[in-house]
């Protein structure tokens, strides 16, 4: 016996990846529904070797369905997630709408799987922000060993984090650079993204940080440990897929770089590629389509007591979104529903 699964937002980048990953990981599915807005009704999407026609989210009845993986914005989620939950279908939500609700668990399965049982509060589970997800996978095993006091992170986030429009903007602007008659104004991002970097993701807040930076702070505290201090600078870069992060960590106890490397090699969800030679590290191009969070450039920081630096790269459409949602579904099935 398997599960009845609905993927909400099946025609988007993350929805496509959810369907791909459910098939790749052989998730025990008895029935699957691809849901989208009425304007996309009937659009065909792939699920393994099958082709599904999208159904209308507005009229879909969630009663009798086990889980719904949501890959739509907060406004649509606000309308449809409570309907699904009320019908007894567990919602796994990729938007930011429920992440900071104390009654709703925010889960990265490699980090805080025990939180899965809190789904009963509202029948909703939140998926973290893409930049947070890969970072906490790296932080948790190190925190368990030496207790993290403070994290300073600078991100290099791909345009796919802004959806299909972000990817189109990079493509169109790049073409326009080589063909000046093809003048493409910077409308998706606040400035030109082609051959540029933009230190601005999401809206500015009163303290001068952006909401993306605030998310990394708040979510790390909720997922790992409320006592960890986090400061972030989030930057959009001209990369199609794959987020990178330079992470500086200050621990309560000393942690040798060699021991840290060994700990990370044994940690779930992590692949360490760290050779001190040309090309002995991972870049975004190499992580695309992979399930792992890649760690490189592990080294001591001698400027602070008990400091460590590392480089963290992951496919943001996978671990940063769709993969983590599917892993939550697997965890829910394995620990609670136990049908598959």
Residues assigned a catalytic role: 130, 243
**Phi/psi at 73 (nearest 5 deg)?**
-70, 175
For 339, the token pair is 């049908």
Give strand pairing partners of 152.
Answer: 231, 248
Q: What does each C-alpha distance from 331 to 121, 193, 209, 233, 256 come to in angstroms?
A: 17, 38, 34, 32, 33
CA-closest candidate to residue 163, choices 130, 137, 141, 195: 130
- Which of 334, 329, 321 has its CA nearest to residue 16? 321
Q: Rounded to an integer, what distance in angstroms lies between the CA atom of residue 222 and that of residue 2?
A: 32
Cα-Cα-Cα-Cα dihedral sign, residues 110, 112, 114, 116: negative
With tokens 């505290």, the residue in question is 221
Contact 92, 104 (CB under 8 A): no
Q: Phi/psi of residue 234, each to 5°?
A: -105, 130
d(CA 58, CA 308): 49
Location of structure tokens 């001068």: 208
Calpha distance 312→294 (Å, rounded): 6
The sheet with strand 29-36 has its strands ordered as 55-56, 29-36, 3-8, 67-70, 90-93, 124-126
Report the relative pairing of strands 243-251 and 307-314 from DSSP bridges: antiparallel
Tell which residue, 340, 333, 322, has the closest CA to residue 161.
322
Q: CB of 74 within 8 A of CB of 95? A: yes
Residue tagged 């989208």 (tokens):
36
Q: Which two tokens stand for residue 253?
A: 């106890």
């Amino acid at each position: 016996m398997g599960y009845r699964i609905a993927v909400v937002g099946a025609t988007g980048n993350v929805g496509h990846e959810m369907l791909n990953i459910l098939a790749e990981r052989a998730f025990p599915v008895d029935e699957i529904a691809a849901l989208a807005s009425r304007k996309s009704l009937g659009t065909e999407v792939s699920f393994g070797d099958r082709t599904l026609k999208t159904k209308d989210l507005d009229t879909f009845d969630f009663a009798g369905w086990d889980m719904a993986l949501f890959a739509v914005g907060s406004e649509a989620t606000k309308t449809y997630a409570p309907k699904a939950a009320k019908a007894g279908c567990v919602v796994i939500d990729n938007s930011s709408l429920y992440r900071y609700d104390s009654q709703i668990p925010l889960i990265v399965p490699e980090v805080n799987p025990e939180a899965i049982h809190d789904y009963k509060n509202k029948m909703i589970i939140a998926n973290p922000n893409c930049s947070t997800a890969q970072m906490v996978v790296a932080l948790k095993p190190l925190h368990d060993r030496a207790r993290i006091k403070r994290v300073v992170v600078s991100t290099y986030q791909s345009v796919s984090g802004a959806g299909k429009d972000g990817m189109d903007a990079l493509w169109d602007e790049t073409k326009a650079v080589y063909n000046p008659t093809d003048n493409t104004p910077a409308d998706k991002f606040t400035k030109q993204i082609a051959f540029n970097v933009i230190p601005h993701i999401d809206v500015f807040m009163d303290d001068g940080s952006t909401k993306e930076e605030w998310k990394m702070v708040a979510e790390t505290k909720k997922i790992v440990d409320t006592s960890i201090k986090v400061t972030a600078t989030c930057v959009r870069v001209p990369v199609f897929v794959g987020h990178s992060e330079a992470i500086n960590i200050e621990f309560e106890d000393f942690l040798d770089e060699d021991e840290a490397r060994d700990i990370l090699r044994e940690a779930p969800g992590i692949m360490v590629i760290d050779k001190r030679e040309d090309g002995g590290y991972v870049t975004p191009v190499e992580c695309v389509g992979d399930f792992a969070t890649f760690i490189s450039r592990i080294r001591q920081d001698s400027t602070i007591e008990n400091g460590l630096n590392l480089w963290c790269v992951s496919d943001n459409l996978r671990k940063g979104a769709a993969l983590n949602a599917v892993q939550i579904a697997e965890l829910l099935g394995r620990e609670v529903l136990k049908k598959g």
